[in-house]
């Protein structure tokens, strides 16, 4: 029997990268998956990958920057599959033009800040607002967010991104505290550098080599590394795990940044 047998999962930003890998992993373990993404084509393609294997999924176009779309996502999930057990808030504003306008504090752009917070933070919070009544009626549910290492320390760029993920961390703990007594668990995942399509688009081989240097691991992360943690947190194996933020980061955070310098001096 699969580790998510009989459960219904909704994943945002699941047309690519971490969300896609998680949708495939959840379906392999018996979940019915609502694959949602800004782009209908991406969502449908991942849903088809799942159903082609005889597993259960539907694809939905959902812009998590729009409250009515989020409300519709939860309504369609419940109408189609009858319940909702797992909500994974994973979508991110990955628009390159908008990201470019988030790089310079002296030209801080309020519109970019508001949009980034809307997609990366508010989208997940509103999805909880609409999913929680169903989960509470069922007597429980598992909520996940994808956070970032950018949330936990200072940055020299992406000034709205880090703030949006720091706010995500607060909501993880707050939702966990508010609804833990009613059987809801809410946890976050903090990935290291993960080789997803958007990471490949903004990085280059030199940057990847420098990133690997600060990971205390043999390689950078793959989307499946995050999907495996999401699977554990979504499953009943994590029944006593609530309000936690899990680093799946190849050991970036286990040592001081000096380690990558000292390691070279020791050779």
Residues that bind ligand NAD (CB under 6 A): 12-13, 15-19, 37-39, 42, 62-65, 90-94, 119, 146, 148, 191, 193-194, 196-199
Q: Which helix (H) or strand (E) holds 260?
A: helix 258-266
Minimum CB distance to ligand NAD, residue 105 (Å): 20
**Which CB, 59 or 141, lies closer to ligand NAD?**
59
**Which CB, 141 or 188, lies closer to ligand NAD?**
188
User: What six digits make up the tokens of 31?
Assistant: 């979940």
**Which CB, 84 or 168, lies closer to ligand NAD?**
168
Quick count: other Cβ atoms within 10 Å of Cβ 104? 11
Of 88, 130, 161, 179, catalytic: 161
Distance (Å, rounded) from C-alpha 172 to C-alpha 75? 23
Distance (Å, rounded) from C-alpha 111 to C-alpha 97? 13
**Which CB, 138 or 198, lies closer to ligand NAD?**
198
Which class for 209: exposed (0-12), middle (13-18), buried (19 or more C-beta within 10 A)? exposed
- E-state strands within the chain: 8-11, 32-37, 57-61, 86-89, 141-146, 184-191, 245-248
Minimum CB distance to ligand NAD, residue 20 (Å): 7
In the residue annotation, 161 being an active-site residue is answered as yes
Minimum CB distance to ligand NAD, residue 132 (Å): 20
Q: Residue with the closest Cβ to ligand NAD? A: 17
- Residues serving a catalytic function are 161
């Amino acid at each position: 029997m699969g580790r998510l047998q009989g459960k219904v999962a909704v994943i945002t930003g699941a047309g690519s990268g971490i969300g896609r890998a998680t949708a495939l992993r959840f379906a392999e373990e018996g979940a019915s998956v609502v694959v949602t993404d800004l782009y209908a084509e991406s969502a449908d393609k991942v849903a088809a990958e799942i159903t082609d294997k005889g597993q259960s999924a539907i694809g939905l176009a959902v812009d998590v920057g729009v409250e009515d779309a989020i409300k519709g996502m939860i309504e369609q999930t419940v109408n189609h599959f009858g319940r909702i057990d797992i909500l994974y808030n994973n979508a991110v504003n990955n628009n390159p033009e908008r990201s470019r306008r988030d790089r310079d504090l002296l030209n801080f752009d309020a519109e970019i800040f508001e949009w980034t917070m809307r997609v990366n933070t508010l989208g997940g919070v509103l999805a909880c607002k609409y999913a929680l009544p169903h989960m509470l009626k069922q007597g429980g549910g598992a909520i996940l967010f994808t956070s970032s290492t950018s949330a936990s320390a200072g940055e020299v760029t992406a000034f709205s991104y880090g703030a949006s993920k720091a706010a995500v961390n607060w909501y993880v703990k707050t939702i966990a505290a508010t609804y833990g007594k009613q059987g809801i668990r809410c946890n976050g995942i903090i990935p290291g550098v993960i080789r997803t399509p958007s990471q490949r688009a903004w990085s280059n081989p030199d940057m990847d080599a420098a990133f690997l240097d600060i990971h205390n691991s043999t390689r950078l992360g793959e989307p499946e590394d995050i999907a495996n943690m999401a699977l554990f947190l979504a499953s009943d194996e994590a029944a006593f795990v609530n309000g936690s933020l899990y680093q799946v980061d190849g050991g970036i955070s286990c040592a001081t940044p000096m380690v990558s310098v000292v390691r070279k001096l020791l050779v």
